[in-house]
Chain A
Amino acid sequence: GAGVSQSPSNKVTEKGKDVELRCDPISGHTALYWYRQRLGQGLEFLIYFQGNSAPDKSGLPSDRFSAERTGESVSTLTIQRTQQEDSAVYLCASSLQSTYGYTFGSGTRLTVV
């Protein structure tokens, strides 16, 4: 597609349930990033995939968070046993190379009630 696509755009879930967020990067972009943006705050790095290299998971806030990527295509971010503090907009971005900026998706707004 022409841009980075994220689904769902909005998700409301009950505390304790698992959620799965999806990101379709731009075709050919080898790098894929997940960020979190809490209300009124800046971007918080979560995880970075680059080609077939081991992902950089250093930003994942707890072991309830995990992410997978199939080759250089779709990525899913899974949050297990959701907590209210997980409520945020989860942004995915892809990049062709390190010297290029990211192209961001429009995000998934997660609300944990």
Chain B
Amino acid sequence: AQSVAQPEDQVNVAEGNPLTVKCTYSVSGNPYLFWYVQYPNRGLQFLLKYITGDNLVKGSYGFEAEFNKSQTSFHLKKPSALVSDSALYFCAVRDGDNYGQNFVFGPGTRLSVLP
């Protein structure tokens, strides 16, 4: 079975400061890991993914995430937060060795960037 945990319901950060949104996962095979963002009253948008290769993945809007296999984590980061980054962030995982598996999403973390 696969699962995703996002231990923080809410993250508050001041504009211009670095931000981190945490994600840990459990999967039996090779993890395919994704981050999505949901802005108010809009659908989910893809941010970035890790399938294989470099552990540091760069994505849209200046976000990046680091895959850490030993800690089974895939934390989302940004060096300097913007007020417009305020949104709901979802981490998702699927078992890359099992093609038929769907993605499992974490419960989401609400990011508030304060001006």
Q: Which residues of A does B touch, CB under 8 Å?
A: 33, 35, 41-43, 45, 48, 50, 53, 56, 59, 91, 93, 98-107
Contacts and interface: CB of A to CB of B under 8 A. Distances in A.
B94 interface: yes
Interface string B78-108: 0000000000001000101001101111111
B104 A105 contact: no
B74 interface: no
B56 interface: no
B32 A42 contact: no
Given A99-B32, A101-B36, A48 B44 contact: no
Contact of A99 (B36, B44, B51, B106): B51
Contacts of B102: 33, 45, 48, 56, 59
B46 A103 contact: yes
B45 to A, nearest CB: 7
Contacts of B104: 45
A43 B105 contact: yes
Contacts of A59: 102
A42 B49 contact: no
Which one of B43, B94, B106 has the highest number of Cβ atoms from chain A below 10 Å of its Cβ?
B43
B96 A42 contact: no
A98 B43 contact: no
Nearest to B4: A42
A104 B51 contact: no
Instruction: Across the A-B interface, give the 8 residue pairs with the lowest CB-CB distance, nearest first.
Output: A42-B107, A106-B43, A104-B44, A43-B105, A101-B46, A48-B102, A104-B43, A42-B108
